[in-house]
Structure 1
């Protein structure tokens, strides 16, 4: 993943599953100590903004007034850029037990639509922030590939807009930490779908992330972590990427630095190892662990899921299907390279014909095991309990309207996985194990199950 500074419709049923809508009722019951604020595209920033009857017009007006414990409720409407940075920039922090939350007003479905700014939603040097249930839709439908080839550059925000990004403060360099991004729908942004960089304690869960990274010259991806920075000496899990669906993210424009097509991954954990001596970069590496679990990643331009120059990463119980669709890219469908202390366990990987299945390049203490591999080239490394063969998926497809990656009753993934206590549920919340043993992939098999 490389970050700048800073096509497919989704059914209403899926949006509801992701939490983008909720039952309508009166003004929400107040919880926490901060003042709550309300925003509507028919409001005014001259209003007091503290009731649904007198809302602000812009999310930024509310963000500039929040205190720990505040919730910003965003009502129906379309919200565009308010500054060169984008739709909203959050720089005020919550505190432990009293985060600042941004979410739709109950029963409403607002849409953030960045066009000329760098980001749709920016968390810039703020901490204890929750962003949940929002749809952020970029402007890629109104950009052609020919236009992007002419106009995309490292300084053209309109060709590089990210949907949702967490990054340091421009002025004081302060990093963000304790950021939760949950149940959001981020799509059609020319840059990254969801990205978090140079911070700590990130949770990215239950998001739908697709059709991003097409037109930026920064080598973006669907979901990405770049060079996190420890805020304490805790070495357990501090970054969670789980229960997300990510597809159709692809780089169609060359990354400006290498003049090559790069990234466009479904999910990447990038550069958590210390910078090499003599590189001129003071980055000391990240000591916390990252858990990537229960994600479904398919039909992306780069890898489905991988760690690059990563350390202390567990990639567990994911399903990756027909990634590396970019002709120029042959990244592993699920895997790690140039990495250290990475576990790749209990995954299902169906690779494109002729494309890489796994990678063992420049790895140290990287374990692949209990995975099922099908298609693609012969795995570069095979664990003792890895299986080669059809995983028995219900209806695998690159079409989001019909794709169903649950297990068939005769799947070799059922009851054949490894117990991994940190992953207690599957993608849809079913307890692990549901049967006699742990299943492989994002779903546990339940007989007679009608989930989709």
Structure 2
């Protein structure tokens, strides 16, 4: 689909209906070639993105013209409302507006804000390219109803995209590459989300944990049609996290639940295509896994760092380009189903410590 700054993908529309069906009611323009002191009209644009964001009200689209914008952007106090999100978009084409993040800060960030669209930017550097999370701690003010679409993120020192304590989210059509020591797209207590059609890679294959991670009580997430390569683990369903309380509720005995991993191409890895760590009630189906390495497994099912075991994991109809491809750690075989997975010449399923069960 050709890039249109104020049109969202069908997946984003369905995942975040309070944003996806909306149209802007007001436009504020930004041009780095402006002299400064503008009013945000097309004839007298603001010179900086932050100046426009600070004037944005629900229903406003901040239209950023082609150019290079030095300095991070804060969307704090810029929430939209249901049917009237605040849009931050590259107006002149996908990637035409470039944000160079400030040292030690995310390129674009917001804490506890709702109903936002971030679309079409090139974002370079920073701790994260985009970081949206709760305000404060203990789940008092989540960030909700967010669309992150068609951005090109590179050179971050931690995560490419970081979402934490978030609900009703679409992360679609982004490119994340050469990110830092953690994840391409990191999800900590994220619920009701779709992560689809993203291209994630890191040329070093070291320091970063995965292309996509969903952990710390994340639930009801669809991971669809992503292209993931040159990382350690492709997708982590679950993971290792801090103790419940500040970042996700107590009483949760899983890292990730009701996760769908489907239609992804995961290849050229240092380790595993999928690593399930404390995952529950999740399906991994119709993917192509070609790790292209000598690591002893392609899909791993295991417990998290708190001892929460994986259960009810279904691994169905995947193409796995390795003969020995599945490991199940002791105590994590409850409800496990494997069916229809294929590889040229047939599959050999390798169960390690799988409660004496054979896979």
When normalised by structure 1's length, the TM-score is 0.61
1:299 aligns with 2:299: no
Alignment correspondent of 2:128:
162
Alignment correspondent of 1:313:
259
CA 1:129 to 1:106, structure 2 compared with 1: closer, same or farther past 3 Å? same
Higher deviation after alignment, 360-369 or 380-389: 380-389
Higher deviation after alignment, 164-173 or 59-68: 164-173
Q: CA deviation at 1:78?
A: 1.0
SS of structure 2 residue aligned to 1:42:
coil
Q: CA deviation at 1:360?
A: 1.8
CA 1:21 to 1:69, structure 2 compared with 1: closer, same or farther past 3 Å? closer
1:180 aligns with 2:137: no
1:19 aligns with 2:6: no
Q: CA deviation at 1:250?
A: 5.7
Pairwise mapping of residues 56-135 of structure 1 onto structure 2 (< 5 A)? 56-81=46-71, 86-107=72-93, 109-135=96-122
The equivalent position to 1:137 in structure 2, one of 117, 120, 124, is: 124
Measure, in 2, the Cα distance between the counterparts of 1:378 and 1:195: 30
Alignment correspondent of 1:239:
193
Measure, in 2, the Cα distance between the counterparts of 1:180 and 1:390: 42
SS of structure 2 residue aligned to 1:62:
helix
CA 1:64 to 1:115, structure 2 compared with 1: closer, same or farther past 3 Å? closer
1:385 aligns with 2:340: yes
Higher deviation after alignment, 381-390 or 37-46: 381-390
Pairwise mapping of residues 402-417 of structure 1 onto structure 2 (< 5 A)? none
Contact 2:323/2:343 (CA < 8 Å) preserved in 1?
Answer: no
Q: Could you say which structure has the higher strand fraction?
A: 2
CA 1:310 to 1:249, structure 2 compared with 1: closer, same or farther past 3 Å? farther
Q: CA deviation at 1:87?
A: 3.1
5+ residue gaps, structure 2? 7-21, 239-254, 304-309, 329-336, 347-359
Alignment RMSD: 2.6
CA deviation profile, 1:235-268 (whole Å, cap 9, x unmatched): xxx200011111116675xxxxxxxx5x431111
CA deviation profile, 1:107-129 (whole Å, cap 9, x unmatched): 58110011414110112211110
Measure, in 2, the Cα distance between the counterparts of 1:180 and 1:269: 17
CA deviation profile, 1:393-423 (whole Å, cap 9, x unmatched): xxxxxxxxxxxxxxxxxxxxxxxxxxxxxxx
Q: CA deviation at 1:39?
A: 0.7
Contact 2:205/2:230 (CA < 8 Å) preserved in 1?
Answer: no
Q: CA deviation at 1:349?
A: 0.3
Measure, in 2, the Cα distance between the counterparts of 1:249 and 1:192: 15
CA deviation profile, 1:177-225 (whole Å, cap 9, x unmatched): 0000011111112221111111111100011111111xxxxx5211111
Q: CA deviation at 1:44?
A: 4.9
Measure, in 2, the Cα distance between the counterparts of 1:115 and 1:92: 20
Measure, in 1, the Cα distance between the counterparts of 2:64 and 2:140: 29
Q: CA deviation at 1:76?
A: 1.6
Contact 2:269/2:293 (CA < 8 Å) preserved in 1?
Answer: no
Aligned residue pair count: 298
Contact 2:93/2:120 (CA < 8 Å) preserved in 1?
Answer: no
SS of structure 2 residue aligned to 1:359:
strand
Q: CA deviation at 1:133?
A: 0.8
CA deviation profile, 1:27-78 (whole Å, cap 9, x unmatched): xxxx8464311111122552211x2221111111111111111100001211
Measure, in 1, the Cα distance between the counterparts of 2:149 and 2:345: 32
Measure, in 1, the Cα distance between the counterparts of 2:128 and 2:203: 12
CA 1:56 to 1:295, structure 2 compared with 1: closer, same or farther past 3 Å? same
The equivalent position to 2:291 in structure 1, one of 337, 341, 351, is: 351
Contact 1:357/1:376 (CA < 8 Å) preserved in 2?
Answer: no
Measure, in 1, the Cα distance between the counterparts of 2:65 and 2:323: 46
Alignment correspondent of 2:301:
360
When normalised by structure 2's length, the TM-score is 0.76
Measure, in 2, the Cα distance between the counterparts of 1:320 and 1:206: 16
Alignment correspondent of 1:155:
none
Contact 1:350/1:375 (CA < 8 Å) preserved in 2?
Answer: yes
5+ residue gaps, structure 1? 1-16, 23-30, 139-159, 214-218, 231-237, 253-260, 273-285, 325-329, 392-452
Contact 1:37/1:62 (CA < 8 Å) preserved in 2?
Answer: yes
Pairwise mapping of residues 411-426 of structure 1 onto structure 2 (< 5 A)? none
